[in-house]
Amino acid sequence: MNKKAVSLSVNSIVIIALGLLVLFVLFYVLQSNILGGSKKYMNLSLEAEKDIRAKNVCEKLFSGRQCLSPEECSKFGYVDLGAGWVDCDGLHCCEKP
């Protein structure tokens, strides 16, 4: 009897099946991590844009401003920008020179 077809052993089929399973699991894990990371950075950029557009907010992202008492402003060498800021709750907005 002449066989022209290639036969696969059971071991080869099991190894191929396990390899495909590992590939699918890796694809799922990497995809969820990439999407989760992009959502985090998208939220960060939206927050930064909101802070930049806000006119009466002292502690904007990357601005170097803090809400401090007037004494703390002068003690730490900050420039006092005054009171009345939405997020300072009675404190003064102070900025690094």
Going through the chain in order, the beta strands assigned E by DSSP cover: 65-68, 79-80, 92-95
Map out the domains of the chain as residue ranges. 1-53, 58-97
| Whole-number percent of the chain with pLDDT over 90 | 11
Average pLDDT for the chain: 80
Give me 48's structure tokens.
């930064």
Q: What is the DSSP letter of 95?
A: E
And the tokens for 27?
A: 């694809």
Per the CB < 8 A criterion, the answer to whether 91 and 83 are in contact is yes
Count of other CB atoms within 10 angstroms of residue 76: 11
The predicted model gives 35-40 an average pLDDT of 70
pLDDT over threshold 80, residue 55: no
> pLDDT tens digit string along 77-95?
888 988 888 788 889 988 8
Secondary element (H or E) of residue 17: helix 10-53
**Structure-model confidence comparison of residues 16 and 56, the more confident one:** 16
